[in-house]
A and B are shown apart, each in its own frame.
Chain A
């Protein structure tokens, strides 16, 4: 057996893999993250509202989900809920962030592991910038806005704005359906698998959903998760002492079409990628329904009553369940804790008890490593918070 070290980049940030292999087959992979930025400490003693500006900077690609998680954690600490109007707007912008992330992940991150063709990157960036524009109409800008605040949202849209957003959503739906149609047909997905088997990268078959934003429903309780230190600069995350897979496949496994793919290919690389792309269609349909219920006359924001308390929130972010925990005392942050989806999927377990990404790699040919690893849509930037 030989162990080689490999730094994986061209993901969000970088991961270090120690690959145990025998005759070009992967026996086991140790996962390490060697970056640390200290955001949780940075928040201490600041006003709780400052977290709404700092936390999106955890991540340049999925920072909007961190914003939602922050606002919700503070709302839970104060025991308040936003108005229906604010909730719908939050669903639209965070739903669009998921779509934006998936487009870039599929064409910019994953595609080049098989097909190095710049036209796909241009296609992705043109489309993802259109998605950003829709978010910006509501949130002011993308990335790094702070329009979601405890008690609601900062914007006060007119019907004129909302109609414009709706028109753009409809156009976006057509573009998304061109990538994969309602029946799950996708030219680009088939192209990606031209020289790659569909049944590799099978993992744990254990799925976890802890957030219930958008149309997602939970299958577990966040109280049952535990963090455990690893030898590198991050913590493993376990649920009832077991590793689970979080993300688009986990939260859409009960969709009839995705279930059908799962029944044929199990939780392989193909099913995982299929679920991620098809999720864009499901979110589009959901948002186009939701926007019809927007009532501009409802208040955008209701000022919360501040109190000393703790709050916990979970949102389904692009890569899976994202957990934020805040403790507030005299309007200041006493402690803050963040657990990101990549920690669940890319925990560093053992050969006997591997995490989702490790399990997917064990027993596979080394030449498939890059594609299998990246099919989990790794966000090392988030891990290094």
Chain B
């Protein structure tokens, strides 16, 4: 076990959204009790010094000719990288590049600047990251426990799931009933609204956002923000090939998926083919 691991948290090119998402962590005081923050872009710390640390957290993407605290950003990160025991690439920008630049280990799906040093890197993609994801990784490092990773250096305990798992619209997916429109409780968003849940590695519907909800539960499609391809074009439209979603659930052959869909569609689920609640305005007004 490491006693109060030292953290340097540096903001590369991004929006600070991962920091702000982390600030939503319940019981955040435990973070301050268990770790020593040598530098953070928003929280009060000493000025940044190039020095050794146990964990370097890079939030945001690499970008040439970008100035940070008077340094050239990419050189600053290289210097800090070499002096750090472990590096957490925090958020899709730092992992794959995202909207703003290049990731540490990857440039989209290709090998990135620090690919050769991948043994030191743990990738936590997400736009933004979920506070529990980072807490888990930091605590495992502090407790000196083994973190199982996948081939993209993502922690399996977070990214072996798809964001589809646990979605409250799963019944509609089972019976292939699409959402006709936005703004309804009913229907699955995978067929027309662009939901990438069935093929996105993340646990958004297992470890809920802000402890209470997720985008698909609120009627918004999953945009695949934990993936290298984020943000794809046409985020609110399902890409189709001959009327069938071009991207199908992970781990299934196209033929298997089509067979299952055909059967499910032919067997009508009466309960799910109508509104869950018929709303009557007068009644509701009276309640008010």
CB of B281 within 8 A of CB of A295, answer yes
CB of B284 within 8 A of CB of A61, answer no
Q: How far is the CA of A158 from the CA of B218 in the complex (A)?
A: 11
Is B172 among interface residues, defined by CB-CB distance under 8 A?
no
Is A313 among interface residues, defined by CB-CB distance under 8 A?
no
Interface size, chain A (Cβ < 8 Å) = 70
CB of B184 within 8 A of CB of A37, answer no
Q: Which of A7-15, A251-259, A334-342 contacts B (4 or more CB under 8 A)?
A: A7-15
Q: How far is the CA of A135 from the CA of B52 in the complex (A)?
A: 39
For A126, list chain B residues within 8 Å (CB): 28
CB of B235 within 8 A of CB of A53, answer yes
CB of B215 within 8 A of CB of A60, answer no
Is A1 among interface residues, defined by CB-CB distance under 8 A?
no
Q: How far is the CA of A37 from the CA of B23 in the complex (A)?
A: 24
Contact pick for A301, options B67, B70, B182, B185, CB 8 Å: B182
Task: Give B104 Cβ to nearest chain A Cβ, in Å.
Answer: 18
Q: How far is the CA of A143 from the CA of B215 in the complex (A)?
A: 11
For B116, list chain A residues within 8 Å (CB): none
For A35, list chain B residues within 8 Å (CB): 13, 66-67
Q: How far is the CA of A54 from the CA of B236 in the complex (A)?
A: 12
Q: Which of B75-83, B137-145, B204-212, B263-271 contacts A (4 or more CB under 8 A)?
A: B204-212
Q: Which of B40-48, B106-114, B153-161, B248-256 contacts A (4 or more CB under 8 A)?
A: B40-48
Q: How far is the CA of A14 from the CA of B76 in the complex (A)?
A: 16
Is B3 among interface residues, defined by CB-CB distance under 8 A?
no
Task: Give B19 Cβ to nearest chain A Cβ, in Å.
Answer: 7
For B68, list chain A residues within 8 Å (CB): 14
Q: How far is the CA of A137 from the CA of B67 in the complex (A)?
A: 38
Task: Give A282 Cβ to nearest chain B Cβ, in Å.
Answer: 24
Q: How far is the CA of A42 from the CA of B277 in the complex (A)?
A: 41
Contact pick for A145, options B19, B25, B67, B218, CB 8 Å: B218
Given known contacts A35-B67, A132-B24, A143-B20, A59 and B15 CB-to-CB distance under 8 angstroms: yes
For A301, list chain B residues within 8 Å (CB): 181-183
For B128, list chain A residues within 8 Å (CB): 60, 143-144
CB of A57 within 8 A of CB of B15, answer yes
For A10, list chain B residues within 8 Å (CB): 41-44
Residues B207-231 near A (CB distance < 8 A): 209-220, 223, 225, 231
For A61, list chain B residues within 8 Å (CB): 16-17, 20
Task: Give B282 Cβ to nearest chain A Cβ, in Å.
Answer: 9
Q: Please classify the interface of chain B as helix (H, G, I), strand (E, B), loop, or mixed, using the class held by over half of its residues.
A: loop
Is A153 among interface residues, defined by CB-CB distance under 8 A?
yes
Is A138 among interface residues, defined by CB-CB distance under 8 A?
yes
For B18, list chain A residues within 8 Å (CB): 60
Residues B155-209 near A (CB distance < 8 A): 181-185, 204, 209
For B223, list chain A residues within 8 Å (CB): 53, 146
CB of B25 within 8 A of CB of A129, answer yes
For A303, list chain B residues within 8 Å (CB): 181-182
CB of B236 within 8 A of CB of A155, answer no
Interface size, chain B (Cβ < 8 Å) = 64
Residues B110-136 near A (CB distance < 8 A): 127-128
Residues A185-231 near B (CB distance < 8 A): none
CB of B99 within 8 A of CB of A128, answer no
CB of A142 within 8 A of CB of B182, answer no
Q: Which of A43-51, A174-182, A242-250, A262-270 contacts B (4 or more CB under 8 A)?
A: A43-51
CB of B213 within 8 A of CB of A140, answer yes
For B25, list chain A residues within 8 Å (CB): 129
For A146, list chain B residues within 8 Å (CB): 215, 220, 223
For A58, list chain B residues within 8 Å (CB): 15
CB of B23 within 8 A of CB of A144, answer no
CB of A295 within 8 A of CB of B285, answer yes
CB of B284 within 8 A of CB of A141, answer no
For A52, list chain B residues within 8 Å (CB): 235-236
Task: Give A383 Cβ to nearest chain B Cβ, in Å.
Answer: 12
Contact pick for A140, options B70, B217, B288, CB 8 Å: B217
CB of B99 within 8 A of CB of A297, answer no
Is A275 among interface residues, defined by CB-CB distance under 8 A?
no
Is A39 among interface residues, defined by CB-CB distance under 8 A?
yes
Q: How far is the CA of A87 from the CA of B117 in the complex (A)?
A: 50
20 interchain pairs, CB-CB under 8 A: A9-B41, A35-B66, A46-B233, A52-B235, A59-B17, A60-B16, A122-B32, A129-B25, A136-B212, A140-B220, A147-B218, A151-B182, A152-B182, A153-B219, A155-B218, A156-B184, A159-B284, A295-B285, A297-B280, A300-B184
Enumerate chain B interface residues (CB-CB to A < 8 A): 11, 13-21, 23-26, 28-29, 32, 41-44, 66-70, 99-100, 127-128, 181-185, 204, 209-220, 223, 225, 231, 233-237, 277, 279-281, 284-285, 287-288
- Which 9 residue pairs across A and B have the least CB separation, nearest first? A60-B17, A301-B183, A140-B218, A300-B183, A141-B209, A154-B219, A136-B210, A60-B16, A297-B279
